[in-house]
Structure 1
Amino acid sequence: MNSERTTIGQVAEWIGGRVEGDSTATIRTLASFDSAEPDTLTFAADAKRLERLADCQAAAVIVPDEAGIVPDDARIGNGATLIRVPDVERAVAELLRRFAPPADVPPAGVHPSATIDATAQVGPDVAIGANVMIVAGAVIGPRCVLAAHVVIGRDVTLGNDCVILPGAVIEARSVLGNRVRIGPNSVVGAEGFGYIQVDGAHQRLEHTGNVVIEDDVDLGACVCVDRAKFGSTRIGRGAKIDNLVQIAHNVQIGEGCLLAAQVGVAGSAKLGRFVVVGGSTGIRDNITIGDDVQVMAYAAVASDIKPGQTIGGIPARPVSLFRRMLAAEAKLPTLVKRIKALESRIDELG
């Protein structure tokens, strides 16, 4: 975080807030509610924290401006300042952006240890770090950042302003749009998991397609996106994918999807627009999940899902049914005892 001090008034200008208290007081950084100190700024959006304003030690607290949520005469325990904003979450996002330290990426230019094939095309104002390898036929768009040890394969295309972080590998023929961010040690375009049994042995199948990642997609660390057997594995515009996610060959991820850590999507599955998938969920091959579906963590999705549903469980079911089944499951030990007692009673009567 930024070590320079900033006035509360300046913070309020950044986030479109209204100050109640001393706008000339200064803060050093942004902190969580429970760890806030007298020279920090924090925030309270939920009822649990708003009820504890009197206990907060921060210099100022960002709170909702919605009528009745925080009384006009509310004050923090140490007499500090409130900043009322229309949207606390958006205000915090803006402050995180402003207080964040500089990104740990190479400066513009080409590091002397990088290897760039003579046939590769590298746009203006790129930053290419130590030991980067760019193979024949690759096209790197303007202002891209390739951190140390990145490998860009044959005939790969990167759009404008992409950021490829250390150790990532973009394999042959992959196409990335603009402003794509690939996390450390992720692999895009590796061969899919496909075999055929011949004479008692597993024979690897060639995967002749590629991966297409549309604009504004983020991949976390250690994500694997396999290239298609035919055609393209595709990740739609604006999708955000967490660490340790596996996306198999020919999968289609729709616009704006969110996939949490350790999700696995099997071959040729199709996710619609703005699907949200909780962590450690498995999605089987060749199924379709409709737009706006929400999948609870640890689910196993084994069949097509209609748009707009919230599902969970193994196998995944509509959440209302899943919760009823969990409630019934909790009663099973008691039911078993009752059944055994009834069986004993029947035996006595017999």
Structure 2
Amino acid sequence: MEKTLQELSEHVGGTVVGDPSVKISGVMGIDDAREGDITFISNDKYIRKIDQTKASAIIVSPKLRDTNIFLSQQTKRNLLVCNNPYLAFAKLIDLLIYKKPVYPEGVDPSARIDKTAVLGHQISVQPYVTIGKNARIGNRVVLHPCVYIGNGCIIGDDTIIYPNAVIYDETIIGKRVTIHSNTVIGSSGFGYAPDGQGYYKIPQIGSTIIEDDVDIGANTTINRAVMGETVIRKGTKIDSQVVISHNVEIGENSLIVSQVGIAGSAKIGRHVTLAGGSGVVGHVTVGDNVTVGGYSGVINDIPSNETYLGAPALPIRRMRKCYVIIEKLPEMRDLIKTLEKRIAQLEGRNETAQTK
């Protein structure tokens, strides 16, 4: 598909600086863009590449547009000015490049579907799918090869589940959910009671609920509750290789990045970002609009509207000061040793003076 820069501007709600009639047919990163492509800059460190990119147009924010380097380049570069360049970039990929997959409609003969299961309209049940007793599958659901849907599961309309994902019994999944390959939802939580010699497994008899418009990456595990519910609220996006334990609740529109671990009964608020590799201990509460930095460890409750960093996680301003001190620890150690020697010398002189 080919569009003019002006047409793209109207699609994303931006403003053209330069030639509005230039033709755009592709979307690429700034290093790989060629003539006919549009690229974007959302970070100051990429500004230096505007002289190198071969893109026919660049998406920038109003703030970046007003920097000296862009002001001096306006006669040479075509710009699409948007408040959110990254979002505009994503929308243009959708418009110009992305082709929605077309799935074979119907049930493959190799699928194993219990006679009590209820199937919606226009579904795609692909080879070797298993659907258990009393499961309910909504309209336009796509189940890729080797997906397992357990007894009593409910899968909402327009949900897509990719190959080899396993949905355990009694799991409820909402509408427009995407679950990627090898993800497991509804497995038993890690619960054991010591009995003096070993460990007695605590039955996990609760359920797992995934609300509407949730995306879940590959190789992620979401455990069922011991009792009650493990809940992922609507709009939340979960990356690959994440572990979410029993009775966790994650609020609406949160972002859980790769390799995050959330222990049992933690409560995560709305619009929370847990960056890659971070961890949350059990039975703590993370407030709304919180950001936890990568590889941080949350061991206490965090109030709303805060950014935390480090292990243990501290408010970011405080932790930055700690990092500065950590870098200076070797010099501080040497200084302390020097001061200790001088104090010892002074105390020795005082003792000598007193004896005289």
TM-score normalised by the chain length of structure 2: 0.89
Work out which of the residue numbers 224, 237, 251 in structure 2 matches 1:254: 251
Indicate if the aligned counterparts of 2:174 and 2:210 stay in contact, CA closer than 8 A.
yes
- How many residues are treated as equivalent by the alignment? 344
Indicate if the aligned counterparts of 2:217 and 2:239 stay in contact, CA closer than 8 A.
yes
Quick one: structure 1 residues 286 and 124, their matched pair in 2 at CA, closer, same or farther if it must change by over 3 Å?
Answer: same
Question: Secondary structure of the equivalent of 1:255?
Answer: coil
- Do structure 1's residue 223 and structure 2's residue 186 form an aligned pair? no
Instruction: Tell me what 1:305 maps to.
Output: 302
- Post-superposition shift, 1:84? 3.7
Give the root-mean-square deviation of aligned CA atoms. 2.3
Work out which of the residue numbers 262, 265, 269 in structure 1 matches 2:262: 265
CA distance in 1, matches of 2:270, 2:160: 24
- Do structure 1's residue 233 and structure 2's residue 247 form an aligned pair? no
- Post-superposition shift, 1:14? 3.0
Paired residues for 1:79-90 under 5 Å = 81-90=78-87
Question: Secondary structure of the equivalent of 1:62?
Answer: strand
- Post-superposition shift, 1:73? 7.2
Work out which of the residue numbers 111, 116, 135 in structure 1 matches 2:113: 116
Give CA deviations for 1:120-175 in whole Å, capped at 9, x if unaligned.
00100111111111111100011111111111000000111111111111100000
Quick one: structure 1 residues 28 and 340, their matched pair in 2 at CA, closer, same or farther if it must change by over 3 Å?
Answer: same
Indicate if the aligned counterparts of 1:20 and 1:81 stay in contact, CA closer than 8 A.
yes
Question: Secondary structure of the equivalent of 1:225?
Answer: strand
Question: Secondary structure of the equivalent of 1:98?
Answer: helix
Amino acid at match of 1:75: T
Instruction: Tell me what 2:353 maps to.
Output: none
Give 5+ residue unaligned stretches, structure 2: 349-356
Instruction: Tell me what 1:317 maps to.
Output: 314
User: Which is further off, 95-104 or 232-241?
Assistant: 95-104
Give CA deviations for 1:298-337 in whole Å, capped at 9, x if unaligned.
1111111111221111111111221111112222211111
Question: Secondary structure of the equivalent of 1:41?
Answer: strand
Instruction: Tell me what 2:75 maps to.
Output: 75
CA distance in 2, matches of 1:260, 1:73: 37
- Do structure 1's residue 127 and structure 2's residue 117 form an aligned pair? no
Amino acid at match of 2:93: L
Indicate if the aligned counterparts of 1:282 and 1:299 stay in contact, CA closer than 8 A.
yes
Work out which of the residue numbers 291, 295, 308 in structure 2 matches 1:294: 291
- Post-superposition shift, 1:51? 5.5
Amino acid at match of 1:33: I
Pair member with larger Rg:
2
Question: Secondary structure of the equivalent of 1:321?
Answer: helix
Work out which of the residue numbers 327, 335, 338 in structure 1 matches 2:335: 338
CA distance in 1, matches of 2:81, 2:343: 70
Quick one: structure 1 residues 49 and 214, their matched pair in 2 at CA, closer, same or farther if it must change by over 3 Å?
Answer: same
Question: Secondary structure of the equivalent of 2:134?
Answer: coil
Work out which of the residue numbers 186, 204, 207 in structure 1 matches 2:201: 204
CA distance in 2, matches of 1:156, 1:32: 41
Give CA deviations for 1:169-199 in whole Å, capped at 9, x if unaligned.
1100000111111111100000111112235
Quick one: structure 1 residues 245 and 218, their matched pair in 2 at CA, closer, same or farther if it must change by over 3 Å?
Answer: same
Amino acid at match of 2:139: P
- Post-superposition shift, 1:118? 0.6
Amino acid at match of 2:246: H
CA distance in 2, matches of 1:46, 1:341: 45
Give 5+ residue unaligned stretches, structure 1: none
